[in-house]
Amino acid sequence: MQILVIGATGYAGRRVSTALARAGHTVLGLTRDTDAPAARALVTDEVTPVMGDFSKAETWRGHLEGTDAVVHLLMDMSDPIGGDQRLFAELLAAQERDGRRRHLVFTTGISSYGRTGLALMDENTPGNPDSPIGFRFALERELAASGLAHTIVRPGFMYGGPATTSMTGQWFAAAEAKNPVFFGDTAKRWSWVHVDDLADAYVRILDNPRAVDGETFVIADDQRITALDMQHAAVRAAGYTGDIALETAEAGGMMQMATDQDELVTSAKAHRLLGWRPRRIAFTDNPELHYRAWKSAQPAT
């Protein structure tokens, strides 16, 4: 199968692209600059970088030719709703041109639920429309109504590897700067997933996409400790022994506000339909290992 990965040079995108290539697929990784170090790293993993700017459909439309599936792992912060709507429209137009039914694996996330007040959420839990990123559930509904072949993935909070955009990476960096801050409710708990376990879920979906057409999967492990306890483990692994300052979620910006609640989910459906189970049990099993992985990925000074 030929697969176009949008966001291939990102944190999750690199691992997903690599996992798909190792599974025997021909993988095209969309990137603005095929000569950039992140794009060249894709080549090492037997992924082919292809040039295109997601915000400009005319630059990547041609890569849909001959493609059987598209994995979307990017949120265009300049136009998060319009960008995804253009993707849906481009896939529909390509299908009309050549009759090829491309399977879209569309990624959102568990923070899209917002504040639901539920102890445990799953694929059937309705999101709170007042969530700062609740629009992502509205996009899921648009996709479901479009007629496109698709599967929706809602990952938990990611960790592992370079932790580029992971909350754990931010915690490690703050610990090294001796200024760790926790934003919002100190009792909140989030579900997590190792980035390689997440990649495995995409491989399983694209092993037999017709079997999961129209399905939504929450992908997370069973870790249940508080986010503050997670941060304590992270900063201690980075060698910080002082206190963590407490601030309001508002002081941390939109993403801290969007995640300022319990976000615990069950992946029972993925266990049942995909045979997926996390191989990494919890970040707190070996936070020092994850700190070293993050540290090794930092640019030399």
Structure tokens, 287: 């936070």
What is the number of other CB atoms lying within 10 angstroms of the CB of residue 124? Answer: 8
What is the mean pLDDT of the segment spanning 231-254? 97
The domain segmentation of the chain, as residue ranges, is 2-162+191-222+264-281
Phi (first) and psi of residue 262, to 5 degrees: -60, 135
Contact 243, 175 (CB under 8 A): no
Report how far residue 96's alpha carbon sits from residue 66's, in angstroms, rounded to the nearest whole number: 14
Phi (first) and psi of residue 30, to 5 degrees: -70, 130
Please give the pLDDT value at position 281.
87
pLDDT over 80 (residue 221): yes
Report how far residue 196's alpha carbon sits from residue 276's, in angstroms, rounded to the nearest whole number: 12
Q: How many CA atoms lie within 13 A of 200 on its CB side?
A: 17
pLDDT tens digits along 144-176: 999 999 999 999 999 999 999 999 999 999 999
Please give the pLDDT value at position 300.
81
CATH 3.40.50.720 fits 2-162+191-222+264-281, yes or no: yes
Amino acid at 42: L
Structure tokens, 135: 């629009």
Q: Coil, helix or strand for 121? A: strand
The mean pLDDT value of the chain amounts to: 97
pLDDT tens digits along 174-183: 999 999 999 9
Q: Is residue 64 within a helix (H) or strand (E), and if so which, with residue range?
A: none
Report how far residue 37's alpha carbon sits from residue 27's, in angstroms, rounded to the nearest whole number: 18
pLDDT over 90 (residue 25): yes
Beta strands in 55-199, from DSSP E residues, in sequence order: 69-72, 103-107, 150-155, 157-159, 181-183, 192-194
